[in-house]
Structure 1
Amino acid sequence: MVLRRALAGDPEAAEMREVLQLLCEALMDRTAGQVVGDLERVVAVLSLAIPAVRTPGTAPDG
């Protein structure tokens, strides 16, 4: 995930890291790591709401 790469200091994701830091410091008073963790939890919960994720064997044959 690009957010984790940005936090890890990946040079290709440096711009994303800067945006995360500015957003977190200015608006949320949270660190970039905390925001990324929050986003990962949201994605995990949303993925549980997808019927194909909850029902084994419903993935399309490829």
Structure 2
Amino acid sequence: MSVNKEMKRVSTAMLQAMKERQEKISMLTSYDYSMAKMVDQAGVDVILIGDSAANVFAGYETTLPIT
């Protein structure tokens, strides 16, 4: 069984309006596609893409190899 709910892109104007209404804004960091997909499906307002995984997980000195 799946739940089909319509997802809308969140703009900076929408975030500003949410802030003015004192609504809570959810934001999570995703280091790869599979995690970003799960976070998106969970309905999180903003997904921060973190490329520091190159340093932390892969051991590179810069983030360029996986950017």
TM class by shorter chain equals under 0.3
Higher helix share: 1
Length-normalised TM-score, structure 1: 0.22
Length-normalised TM-score, structure 2: 0.22
Higher strand share: 2
Q: Which has the higher contact order (CA 8 A, sep 6+)?
A: 2
